[in-house]
Amino acid sequence: MGTYYSFSEQAISEALDAARQTHGGGMLKATDSSFDTSRGGGLQVAAECVSITVENNKVCINLPLGFGKHCFSIPVSIPNGTAGKACLSICTTWGIPTGVRISVVIAGITVVGQTFGKC
């Protein structure tokens, strides 16, 4: 396969920091009377979108956080050479990363979306 697109370490780090800050402070103290279990702790934070080009009816991505590499098959109706973007969201529970979500967007439409890990 040809090109593997990657997301910047800075964007990933900033998304993880945002998730930690959302759940910072005393929110993790279950003995605290203000602890709100109804919130569930799950949070998905957008990290970055990168420009991609459809190649051999696929888009290949280097997934962050140890999830490896993955190629997404793109519907045949979208010709090779079509430009779009791949967007990364980091999934967390109580600010701890648990997974990633990748969305491939072409002409403003999400044509493929997949999660890895727990989202």
**DSSP string covering 51-71, please?**
EEE-BTTEEEEE-STT--EEE
Token duo for residue 77: 């109706």
What pTM value is reported for the model? 0.85
Burial profile 87-114: b = 16 or more Cβ within 10 angstroms, e = fewer: bbbbbbbbbebbbbbbbbbbeeeebbee
pLDDT at 11 over 60: yes
pLDDT class for 30, splitting at 50, 70, 90?
low
* CA–CA dist 109, 37 (Å, integer): 35
pLDDT class for 26, splitting at 50, 70, 90?
very low
Sequence ranges of the domains in the chain: 4-117
3-state secondary structure of 24: coil
pLDDT of 79-118, one tens digit each? 999 999 999 999 999 889 999 999 999 999 999 999 999 9
pLDDT at 23 over 60: yes
